Amino acid sequence: MAVSAPITNRRHQSSLTDISILGPAVAASFKKLDPRWQARNPVMFVVEVGAVITTYAFVTSFGNRGDSLFIGQIALWLWFTVLFANFAEAVAEGRGKAQAATLRKTRSDTVARRLRDGHEEPVPAPQLRRGDLVVCESGDVIPSDGTVVEGIASVDESAITGESAPVIREAGGDRSSVTGGTKVLSDRIVIEITQDPGQTFLDRMIALVESASRQKTPNEIALNILLAVLTIIFILAVVTLQPFAVFSGTSVSITVLISLLVCLIPTTIGGLLSAIGIAGIDRLLQKNVLAMSGRAVEAAGDVDVPLLDKTGTITLGNRQATEFIPASGVDMNVLVSRAELASLADETPEGRSIVSLAERLGSRESAAGKAGLVFVPFSATTRMSGIDRGDSSIRKGAADSIARWCSGDTTGTLPVNVQTQVDLIGRSGGTPLVVAEDRRVLGTIHLKDIVKPGIKERFEELRRMGLRTVMITGDNPLTAEFIAREAGVDDFLAEATPENKLELIRKEQAEGKLVAMTGDGTNDAPALAQADVGVAMNSGTQAAKEAGNLVDLDSNPTKLIEIVETGKQMLITRGALTTFSIANDVAKYFAIIPAIFAATFPVLSALNVMQLHSANSAVLSAVIFNALIIVALIPLALRGVKFRAIGAAPLLRRNLLIYGLGGIIAPFFAIKIIDVLITSVHLA
């Protein structure tokens, strides 16, 4: 059976100096000159048409050395403008293709062991279909995406996540999902295949990073329409100049008119727009987050309300049992033994800490084994777990859930002394778990958790960005309120169930808000599907991953904050470069308009504030700047404008100052320097 190659340093971000990317990108730049490809971008299509016309004019101008040299240089720089724009897109795509090539190393010609009628049969992995059952043992490569339906195993997922530490995958619960291309390290599991060939997680990941399936986002489409409208307006403006020139007794060559058009239309952002979108997806992938579409990345940048789980996101998530508090009339040893029994099959850190504390207090229920015990797993709906043994039932869980279980209806209440302890634990920031046997409350377990260092500052950053954070927890309202206040979140949802999570998302969306949330279980799938940005954990169930539009390969709930920041960075980058591109036109106007009409209207010489050498050098300098600025901005488009956690108004002022005012001023200096250089070597 084939074994996939190990993946190392998958998170490395290729630079612009990487020859393995630059070489193919240069070749792709020429391939993209195909008019069918350029037609997707109206701005660059106009530039390419202009390059074709000026090239024809150059060919027909032989015999007039001065005109031929000028027209030839204009034609050459127009072609460079198109090529540089193609190069920006090709480099962005090239980085994705480099990652895809690395991901393909995880593929192998695996022969799966398919179960049919209780017997194993060898089948090539590409022949597996949804619903097939396969067996995987130690050393086997998992042939396709699926769900563990039998057994438990240690799995190496480094080929997908880049994380070398193995993870446990087991039947049932929220750790049952496995990914094709990962490797079983121990034990035996039976997997139900959940994806047909070509639709697996790895297939989608490769297609995305290669940009083969990238669709333009709504904002990108809107900006493309705006750029197309601006292009049409400038075409009409430039076309009308010729009749005015003839009327004024002068003549403007087609080369100069095309140069003016190319310099006035927003070629900079037109050339970089696609690269910005691709780079946004790429930056998320560097954070080990797979976006199922560019739309998801963009939506992340527009999020108003992130919903964050308390445990593991806001707190450290390793709640420990510190105390057993018996109810009135209940012996401490009885409470301790029943709490231990109810936790024997609970593999969560909380469950293990309860068993450990009980053993330290002298309980020996674990030594007796699990024979005769029927375990009742925890569920988000019931919010409790426990055991059944014979006619006896033991449960531990949230206070309100235990109260309802004991009473048998929705109006149940706890004994006064237990409710008092529950309230005291909640007010101290702890989590109370109530233990009951045969619908009789035995007492309370005190769980302590710690708010993560620095998380309050992160929430303050989100608040400055205009986001309202909501903490989601299964804890009672008192505990939730204490943790929310300590962590600095804006709001909280206590005693959360899948139903009221979904209700909260719909309520926020009805108010015009975009909502983001994380989840890993089947119970989270409806809410993940409803949220505008649903981040599924890679360690979670297949249902959760299919419902979300992003998958966190590290299964780190805190990643939601970074996802929002990355989405905003993409939007900020697009806005900043659009501002810069449009602002550039001011300097180009002052360069070319005097060059066209100063001879006929001497008063227009006053507009030649840069004191450019001649009409030809002015036009040529503007065209050269227009081409080179795309190259200069490629690193910024790929890296993104530096993100700062500030509000929309300060951000707008900052961008207008740097990219608006800078976009006006910088070209004046650059065009003047180019003019000096080309005149010094007698190119104009």
Which active-site residues does the annotation give? 309
**Which of 349, 351, 408, 400 has the alpha carbon at shortest distance from 377?**
351
Which structure tokens are listed for 99?
A: 């990652």
Which structure tokens are listed for 123?
A: 């089948």
Q: d(Cα 101, Cα 78) in Å, to the nearest integer?
A: 34
* Whether 351 contacts 466, CB under 8 Å: no
User: Angle 477-487/455-464 helices, nearest 10 degrees?
Assistant: 80
**Which of 5, 4, 284 has the alpha carbon at shortest distance from 144?**
4
23 burial via Cβ count (<10 Å: 0-12, 13-18, 19+): exposed
What is the strand order of the sheet 374-376 is part of?
A: 320-326, 440-448, 431-437, 392-397, 384-389, 374-376
User: Which phi and psi (to 5°) does residue 396 adopt?
Assistant: -135, 145
For the residues of 647-676, what is the DSSP string, one character each? -HHHHHHHHIIIIIIHHHHHHHHHHHHHHH
Annotate 130-140 with b (16+ C-beta within 10 A) or e (fewer): eebbbbbeeeb
Beta-ladder partners of 472 = 309, 493
The alpha carbon of residue 258 and the mean position of all alpha carbons in its chain are separated, in whole angstroms, by 40
Which structure tokens are listed for 518?
A: 């994380």
* Whether 331 contacts 424, CB under 8 Å: no
Query: ∠ at Cα 643 (642, 644), nearest 5°?
Result: 120
CA dihedral over 329, 332, 334, 339, signed as positive or negative: positive
DSSP 451: B
Q: Is 490 helix (H, G, I), strand (E, B) or coil?
A: coil
354: left (phi over 0), alpha (psi -120 to 50) or beta: alpha
For the residues of 246-286, what is the DSSP string, one character each? HHTT----HHHHHHHHHHHS-HHHHHHHHHHHHHHHHHHHH
Measured torsion, CA atoms of residues 609, 614, 620, 622, in degrees rounded to the nearest 10 = 0
* Whether 277 contacts 217, CB under 8 Å: yes
Q: d(Cα 604, Cα 25) in Å, to the nearest integer?
A: 43
Q: d(Cα 651, Cα 364) in Å, to the nearest integer?
A: 62
